């Protein structure tokens, strides 16, 4: 049996007639950039997340950049984030001229550790008379937190928001892998992307809500931030050929992608529940094998399983054996960003962030998509157990 890591074929077969219809409509209208399909998707996605505004853009990386700019992060400032994430999280920080500061993850959830954030702010920073926070080592101002809702599990937002409030930090959420995930805060269930001043999403095809190409969006409740991001994504234009901002790029998301995303958005909750069912099948079959560390889902958090990531001994050999048996697997992510060559100038060394490094050495992403069958999960689990043996 062959089991792909991700298979979008069944998902698109399910709505193929609707996709074909909307593509024909867009071709007939010849409205490929902007227009009703973009506006409809932005309105519907904002409503789905529970925010007032959503700004569609070309990619999740662009979404992070726009979000950081919108909350006022700028050149020479520092943003606290984690090294166990896709590089786009940190690329966006450097793209706006800011500097990343890495804190370690919680070893159980793989999310930003509130305790490590507190250690940094209380031990490595000083609070100035005006309330601003300065890194005592770099002498740069620390202005924002950028937690990552990794693999589809929300970060522990309550203590992170408390720290942000205490130290006057902005919060930008990287929700690229967490469409529809939720967290209970003060008795209310809120979706990821809505806790800070802005939340960034990716619509890369394999995401829980994926386009037929690249795409992203930022959600926010602030009208001025919404307006700024709309200017920046479209060459700084307030209207055609009227440029009111020197900060401007082509970050527009096209009509076709927005139309398809609107179709898929209607099924996102259903597909997320199917992912949760697949995760349950994995748990039932693997929970008694103490060689395998399964993903956790703490109380008050709803995991949407963009990825199903386990930790195993002898990861390299296990991965090779699964591949030989026709099973697609992934590594998310095998080298922590603080140890990547691209960030060696930041001065981190092996051992500085031990939880991130330990996780990176042992994680393995198993096949996960909504239309994965129980028979396929059976085969993956049997093969994994045999490979460990």
DSSP 367: P
C-alpha–C-alpha distance, residues 231 and 216, integer Å: 16
**Domains of the chain: which residue ranges?**
9-265, 268-388
What pLDDT shows up at residue 250?
A: 97
What pLDDT shows up at residue 211?
A: 98
Kindly state the average pLDDT of the residues 166-184: 98
Helix axes 255-265, 16-29, angle to 10 degrees: 150
Binned at pLDDT 50, 70 and 90, residue 227 comes out as: very high
What pLDDT shows up at residue 245?
A: 95
Could you tell me the strand order of the sheet in which 188-191 lies? 188-191, 182-185, 301-302
Binned at pLDDT 50, 70 and 90, residue 384 comes out as: very high
Question: Which tokens go with 217?
Answer: 């969006």
Task: Report residue 368 CA to chain centroid gap.
Answer: 16
What pLDDT shows up at residue 96?
A: 98
What pLDDT shows up at residue 311?
A: 98
Kindly state the average pLDDT of the residues 64-79: 98
What pLDDT shows up at residue 129?
A: 94
Question: Which tokens go with 233?
Answer: 């994504």
Binned at pLDDT 50, 70 and 90, residue 233 comes out as: very high
Question: Which tokens go with 34?
Answer: 């902007």
DSSP 294: P
Residue 56 to residues 41, 61, 116, 231, 251: CA-CA distances in angstroms?
A: 8, 12, 33, 12, 9
Question: Which tokens go with 178?
Answer: 């967490």
User: What fold does the segment set 268-388 form as a domain?
Assistant: 3.90.1150
What pLDDT shows up at residue 259?
A: 98
Q: What angle do CA 328, 333, 338 make, to 5 degrees?
A: 165
Q: What is the pLDDT of residues 246-275, one digit of tens each?
A: 999 999 999 999 999 999 999 999 999 999
The domain 9-265 is placed in CATH, from the list 2.60.40.10, 3.40.50.300, 3.40.640.10, 3.30.420.40, at 3.40.640.10
What pLDDT shows up at residue 230?
A: 98
Decide if 221 contacts 199 (C-beta within 8 A).
no
For residue 364, give the nearest of 325, 320, 331, 389 by alpha carbon: 331
Binned at pLDDT 50, 70 and 90, residue 73 comes out as: very high
Binned at pLDDT 50, 70 and 90, residue 237 comes out as: very high
How high does pLDDT run on average in the chain? 97
Strands 78-81 and 99-102: parallel
pTM of the model: 0.98
Kindly state the average pLDDT of the residues 372-380: 98
Q: What is the pLDDT of residues 82-129, one digit of tens each?
A: 999 999 999 999 999 999 999 999 999 999 999 999 999 999 999 999
C-alpha–C-alpha distance, residues 178 and 389, integer Å: 34
Q: What is the pLDDT of residues 267-276, one digit of tens each?
A: 999 999 999 9
Decide if 84 contacts 72 (C-beta within 8 A).
no
């Amino acid at each position: 049996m062959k089991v792909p890591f991700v298979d979008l074929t069944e998902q698109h077969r399910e709505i193929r007639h609707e996709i074909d219809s909307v593509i024909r409509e867009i071709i007939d209208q010849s409205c490929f950039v902007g227009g009703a399909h973009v506006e409809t998707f932005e309105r519907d996605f904002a409503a789905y997340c529970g925010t007032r505004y959503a700004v569609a853009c070309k990619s999740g990386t662009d979404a992070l950049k726009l979000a950081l700019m919108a909350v006022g992060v700028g050149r020479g400032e520092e943003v606290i984030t984690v090294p166990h994430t896709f590089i786009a999280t940190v690329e966006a920080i450097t793209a706006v001229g800011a500097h990343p500061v890495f804190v370690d993850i919680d070893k159980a959830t793989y999310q930003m550790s509130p305790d490590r954030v507190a250690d940094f702010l209380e031990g490595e920073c000083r609070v100035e008379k005006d309330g601003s926070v300065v890194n005592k080592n770099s002498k740069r101002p620390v202005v924002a937190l950028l937690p990552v809702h990794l693999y589809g599990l929300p970060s522990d937002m309550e203590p992170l928001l408390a720290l942000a409030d205490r130290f006057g930090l902005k919060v930008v959420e990287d929700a690229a892998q967490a469409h529809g995930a939720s967290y209970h805060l003060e008795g209310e269930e809120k979706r990821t992307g809505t806790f800070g001043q802005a939340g960034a999403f990716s619509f890369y095809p394999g995401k829980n809500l994926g386009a037929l190409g690249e795409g992203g969006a930022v959600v926010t409740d602030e009208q001025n931030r919404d307006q700024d991001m709309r200017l920046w994504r479209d060459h700084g234009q307030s209207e055609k050929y009227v440029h009111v901002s020197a900060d401007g790029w082509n970050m527009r998301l096209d009509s076709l992608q927005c139309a398809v995303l609107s179709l898929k958005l209607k099924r996102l909750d259903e597909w997320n529940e199917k992912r949760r069912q697949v995760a349950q099948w994995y748990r039932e079959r693997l929970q008694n094998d103490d060689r395998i560390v399964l993903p956790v889902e703490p109380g008050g958090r709803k995991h949407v399983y963009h990825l199903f990531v386990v930790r195993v001994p002898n990861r390299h050999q296990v991965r090779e054996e699964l591949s030989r048996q026709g099973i697609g697997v992934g590594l998310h992510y095998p080298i922590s960003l603080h140890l990547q060559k691209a960030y060696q100038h930041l001065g981190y060394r092996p051992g500085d962030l031990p939880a991130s490094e330990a996780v990176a050495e042992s994680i393995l992403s198993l096949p996960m998509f909504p239309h994965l069958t129980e028979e396929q999960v059976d085969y993956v689990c049997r093969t994994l157990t045999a490979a460990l043996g």
